[in-house]
Amino acid sequence: MTTVLDGNAVAADVRDGLRESIETLADAGARPGLATVLMSDDPASETYVSMKQRDCEEVGIDGSHVELAPDAPAEDLFDTVADLNADPAVHGILVQMPVPDHVDKRRVLRAIDPAKDVDGFHPENVGRMVAGDPRFKPCTPHGIQKLLAAADVETEGADAVVVGRSDIVGKPITNLLIQKAPLGNATTTVCHSRTRDLAAKTREADIVVAAAGVPELVTGDMLKEGATVIDVGVNRVEADTEKGYELVGDVEFESAKERAGVITPVPGGVGPMTRAMLLYNTVKAASERADVPIDLP
Ligand code: NAD
């Protein structure tokens, strides 16, 4: 029997686990606050930001939002980040990526106060994670670890293959999987666009994390019987639907389900976890700033 992991349910558990801590912090005068910044008129980015704001409202985090015109000067964005860094009511800052071409993305990541960097992309936080002392784990890889835990997937000693080497998914999940830490200790291979024989690698894996951004790249015949398959991909493909498209993952779900022991669907797998872990990091940031200890789920 294949287990289809319900990311919405696991994410709801994380949110439930955060609510009490949020009230503890609020009672101590430190209700967590998350500021989102959008410098884009891309509808997908707008949707992501509004979902994050809705999530905040739902659990009792103070959400605030700043919107800048995509053609505004880059300095406007850096001034906004500086203001949010200085604002004691803001514990987490999220600048929605991508930013326009005239803005230096790396400078944006460096501009955010590392203690408010709830995305976990500031070089200081990346370094701390790699060194085995994470402050904020990036939301998508952290969410993947929570999904693995929810399904009782043993990572210790497992052979894992990560497909993709991006800074936001591939590299950080690889780092977390190889850490000498709970939900780590996996022997991990990273595959990417120059990998010679992807199927030969994935067929050896107990755990496959697919984060390539290529629709249905990983098919059932590329999997070992009983493998755990985490599908990070979110790809719009043309379809005869009202919107004219549908969302598919980087895994061909139907064939993969025949071989996998555990598999995440798209949508409803990793996506909701990414959102939940952003709330988690915001609550952690507020607790550290206020020096109020709390339990995190
Ligand atoms: P990216 O484009 O930055 O990186 C893709 C990586 O895949 C690259 O490292 C590339 O080398 C590798 N790759 C591309 N084609 C390949 C192939 N044929 N074989 C092997 N490797 C290949 O993408 P990203 O930002 O890491 O995102 C990956 C996917 O995950 C996208 O579909 C994105 O929308 C999705 N995503 C989902 C969430 C979520 O919360 N569900 C979060 C982030 C990204």
Residue 17 binned pLDDT confidence (cut-offs 50, 70, 90): very high
Q: Which helix (H) or strand (E) holds 238?
A: strand 235-238
Residue numbers annotated as active site? 52, 96, 119
- The domain spans of the chain are 31-115, 139-270
Measured in Å, residue 168 CA sits from the centre of ligand 1 at 9
Read off the pTM.
Answer: 0.97
CA of residue 18 to ligand 1 center, whole Å: 29
DSSP-derived secondary structure for 87-112: -TT--EEEEPSPPPTTS-HHHHHHHS
Q: Are 31-115 and 139-270 the same fold in CATH?
A: yes
pLDDT 10s digits, 95-150? 999 999 999 999 999 999 999 999 999 999 999 999 999 999 999 999 999 999 99
pLDDT given for residue 236 in this prediction: 94
Three-state secondary-structure class, residue 254? helix
| pLDDT for position 242 | 94
Nearest CA residue ID for atom 18, ligand 1: 193
Residues 152-165: tens digit of each pLDDT: 999 999 999 999 99
CATH number of 31-115: 3.40.50.10860
User: Using CA atoms, how far apart are residues 43 and 221, in angstroms rounded to an integer?
Assistant: 36
Q: How far apart are CA 248 and CA 159, in angstroms?
A: 26
- Separation of CA 140 and ligand 1 centre (Å): 12
Q: Tell me: the pLDDT tens digits for 218-228?
A: 999 999 999 99
- Angle, to 10 degrees, between the axis of helix 170-178 and the axis of helix 123-130? 30
pLDDT at residue 114, as a whole number: 98
What's the CA-to-centroid distance between 208 and ligand 1, angstroms?
13
Residue to probe by mutation, ligand 1, list 193, 198, 219, 231, most atoms within 8 Å of CB: 193
DSSP state of 277: H
Query: pLDDT at position 52, please?
Result: 97
Q: What pLDDT shows up at residue 221? A: 98
Ligand 1 pocket test target in 163, 169, 279 with most atoms within 8 Å of CB: 169
pLDDT classification of 217: cutoffs 50, 70, 90: very high
Q: Among 5, 230, 234, which residue has the most ligand 1 atoms within 8 Å of its CB, making it the best to mutate?
A: 234
pLDDT of amino acid 60: 98
Within 6 A (CB) of ligand 1 lie 140, 163-166, 168-170, 191-193, 195, 198, 211-214, 217, 232-235, 270-271, 274
pLDDT at 253: 98
Nearest 10 degrees: Cα torsion 200, 252, 179, 20? -170
Q: Which atom of ligand 1 is nearest to the CA of 165?
A: 9
CATH fold of 139-270, please? Rossmann fold (3.40.50)
